[in-house]
Amino acid sequence: MATDFLTKMFGLDGQVAVVVGASGVLGGAIAEGLASAGATVVVSGLNAQRGESRAERITSAGGKAAFIAADTLSRDSLAQLRDQCLEKFGRVDMLVNCAGVNSSVPYEEITDEDWQRVLDTNLTGTHLACQAFAPTMSAQEQGGAILNIGSVTAHLPLSRVFAYSASKAAVDNLTKNLAREYATQGVRFNTLCPGFFPAEQNRKILDKERVDNIIGQTPMARFGEPEELVGASILLLSQAAGSFITGATVYVDGGFTAMRF
C-alpha cells in the first residue's frame, strides 16, 4: 500500500531526465538518484570520459542511462543534445542544469576573463539550456520540469566569490521569471540551492579557515553529502509530487541559511 503510493508520487519510470553537468560531483549524484527512481537518464557534460563512466555506473547498477556530450556555452550543442534525446528516447520530461564553475579571489583581483567565464557558464549556460528545452517540454502532452542549481551564495553573498554569488542570484531570478512565463504552459521551474558539498569546483576555495567558518555557521555542523540532494530533486522534478511547485527556491544546506535569515 505505502509502496504503491510512494511509487505513484515519486517514481519516475518511463520518464526521461537530462542532467547537464552530470560528469560532476553533485550532478552525478542527482543523475544516479533519478535513475534509481526509475528515470532514463541522459548524462551530459563536457567531459566524455567521466560522463561515459557515470552512465556505465548507472547501467551496471540496473538503471537506464546514456552519455550525450554537450557544452552549455553553445546553443548549437544544446540543440543537438535535445534533438538526440528526442531521437533516442522520444521525450524529455526533466532537465537539471548542474554545470557550473567557480572562482575565488579578492574583489580587486578579478580579471575580466574570469568574471565572464563564471557568468557565462553559470548564468548564460543555464539560460541557453532552458531556452533549448522549455519549448519542447511545453509542446509535449505531459509537459516537463526544469531544475536549476543555485547556491546559498545567491542570497547570502560570500567573500571572495563575487562573480559566482552574482551568477547564482541571477539564476534564481531567471528561474522564477521562467516559472511565471511557463506556469500555464506545462513546464515547472525551480531552483535547488545546495549549501556546502566538497567538490571539484570549490576544492581550491575550501582552505582551513573557510572550512572552520562554514562548519561553524552550519547548524548541522558538517558538509553535505551529494546524495543528500536527491530527495529534494525528485520532489521538485516529479510531476506527481511537485505538480503545484513552481518558482520555488529550496535550500539543502544543513540549516546554513537559517542562521542568517
Active site residues: 164
Per CB under 6 A, 151 contacts ligand NAD? yes
Nearer to ligand NAD, 53 or 138 (CB): 53
CA distances from 231 to 135, 191, 211 (A): 27, 14, 25
Give the nearest distance from C-beta 21 to ligand NAD in angstroms. Answer: 4
Among 7, 10, 46, 217, binds ligand NAD (CB under 6 A): 46
Nearer to ligand NAD, 37 or 149 (CB): 149
Whether the CB-CB separation of 234 and 39 falls below 8 Å is answered with no
Per CB under 6 A, 23 contacts ligand NAD? yes
Among 18, 99, 237, 252, binds ligand NAD (CB under 6 A): 99
Whether the CB-CB separation of 123 and 97 falls below 8 Å is answered with no
Per CB under 6 A, 196 contacts ligand NAD? yes
CA distances from 51 to 15, 26, 97, 239, 246 (A): 20, 13, 15, 26, 29
Per CB under 6 A, 26 contacts ligand NAD? yes
Give the nearest distance from C-beta 49 to ligand NAD in angstroms. Answer: 11
Q: How far is CA 48 from the centre of its chain?
A: 19
First to last CA, the chain: 40
Helix, strand, or coil (residue 36): helix
Binding-site size for ligand NAD (CB under 6 A) equals 29
Whether the CB-CB separation of 72 and 149 falls below 8 Å is answered with no
Give the nearest distance from C-beta 246 to ligand NAD in angstroms. Answer: 20
How many whole angstroms separate alpha carbon 149 and alpha carbon 161? Answer: 16
Per CB under 6 A, 21 contacts ligand NAD? yes
Among 11, 63, 194, 254, binds ligand NAD (CB under 6 A): 194
Concatenate the DSSP letters of all residues of 207-241 into one string. Answer: -HHHHHHHHHT-TT-SPPPGGGGHHHHHHHH-TTT
Per CB under 6 A, 175 contacts ligand NAD? no
Per CB under 6 A, 201 contacts ligand NAD? yes
Residues making contact with ligand NAD (CB under 6 A): 20-21, 23-27, 45-47, 70-73, 98-101, 121, 125, 149, 151, 194, 196-197, 199-202
